[in-house]
Amino acid sequence: MFVLSSGYVGASEMIHLWPDGVPGETESKASPVISDDHTGDVIRIEKVTNPALIVFEANPDLRNGGTVIICPGGGYHHLAVDKEGYEIAEWLSSLGYTTFVLQYRVPENRDGAFQDTQRAIRCVRGMAERWGIESDKIGILGFSAGGSLGARVSTGDMKEAYLPVDENDHLSARPDFCILIYPAYLDLGPDHSLTPELELNEKTPPMFLFAALDDQKHVNSSLVMGSGLREANVPFELHVLPEGGHGFGMRPGNRAAEMWPKLCEAWMALTVLE
């Protein structure tokens, strides 16, 4: 175990995604910048120029071969890296999943964040033997803007977002399952319909979606995605609770925060492990 720059303890390793230059990045690689804003007792990374995966190894007694890459939310402005990252990773690793928290590029770099997410999936797939994971059980879990990333990398025609840098880039960047918790920006089509780049087809992986009805700004993202998945005959599970708001993570005291992990765990047991 080691201590991250945020002061958080629990991860075993940090793996930087880009061995040389970061595509499209004009600034030099540097350590992530932690925001002074800790509102809500949340650690926020406000700047990433050297994208990385933070590894949380699976409980060795329960290791199941499944893997989850977590994309924290933050509106593409920052990363809520503990509440929607490290805390979730500890839970998943306790269930037997090898888990990686993705520090993707922020602020305001949606193209770079997408490149980082594609690269992360490929790198994890390339490290399957090293971490004792199964290369066809690699999923992505995104919160809010991280949910947007999860949806983007799971759909569409998967055009190459960057030039290959090593052998990992010959591997698939499409996850084998996708978990979207209060996802954002999925309804940017006409009249708040599904965002056009999210093309759903037979290659779209099964999805789990969870949101709260009183998340007035973003609940429609889950609803239109669910409708699109149904029309495309893609297996999915959608839960919408009456209350919960947005950005609740899995901390106690919020019914939605306490409910989704139980439902998601059951869904993964059926979808990923069987």
Residue 179 · residue 127 · CB < 8 Å: no
Grade residue 11 by pLDDT with cuts at 50, 70 and 90.
confident
Grade residue 156 by pLDDT with cuts at 50, 70 and 90.
confident
pLDDT value of residue 258: 97
Q: Is the pLDDT of residue 41 over 80?
A: yes
Residues spanned by the domain of 150? 2-203
CATH number, residue 149: 3.40.50.1820
Grade residue 93 by pLDDT with cuts at 50, 70 and 90.
very high
Whether a cis peptide bond, with omega within 30° of 0, leads into 175 is: no
Per-residue H/E/C for 41-84: CCCEEEECCCCEEEEECCCCCCCCCCEEEEECCCCCCCEECHHH
pLDDT value of residue 119: 97
CA angle 33, 38, 44 (to 5 degrees): 35
Residue 140's alpha-carbon distances to 25, 69, 110, 148, in angstroms, are 24, 5, 17, 11
Our measurement of the distance from residue 112's CA atom to the centroid of its chain's CA atoms, rounded to an integer in Å, reads 15
Q: What is the phi/psi pair of residue 125, to 5°? A: -60, -35
Within a domain: residue 23?
Answer: yes
Within a domain: residue 195?
Answer: yes
Specify burial of residue 262 (Cβ count, 10 A radius: 0-12, 13-18, 19+).
exposed
Residue 6 · residue 42 · CB < 8 Å: no
Within a domain: residue 259?
Answer: no
Residue 174's alpha-carbon distances to 64, 67, 144, 218, in angstroms, are 20, 13, 19, 24
Within a domain: residue 220?
Answer: no
User: Could you report the per-residue pLDDT of 223-269, keeping only the tens digit for each?
Assistant: 999 999 999 999 999 999 999 999 999 999 999 999 999 999 999 99
Within a domain: residue 236?
Answer: no
Instruction: Report the number of distinct structural domains present in the chain.
Output: 1
Which residues on adjacent β-strands are paired with residue 34? Answer: 45
Tokens of 241: 């609770």
Within a domain: residue 105?
Answer: yes
Within a domain: residue 234?
Answer: no
Tokens of 65: 């071969």
pLDDT value of residue 7: 52
Within a domain: residue 218?
Answer: no
User: Could you report the per-residue pLDDT of 101-141, keeping only the tens digit for each?
Assistant: 999 999 999 999 999 999 999 999 999 999 999 999 999 99
Of 120, 42, 143, 54, residue with least CA distance to 93? 54
Distance CA 96, CA 205 (A): 21
Q: Are strands 236-241 and 207-212 parallel, antiparallel or unpaired?
A: parallel
Grade residue 59 by pLDDT with cuts at 50, 70 and 90.
very high
Q: Residue 28 gets which letter from DSSP?
A: P
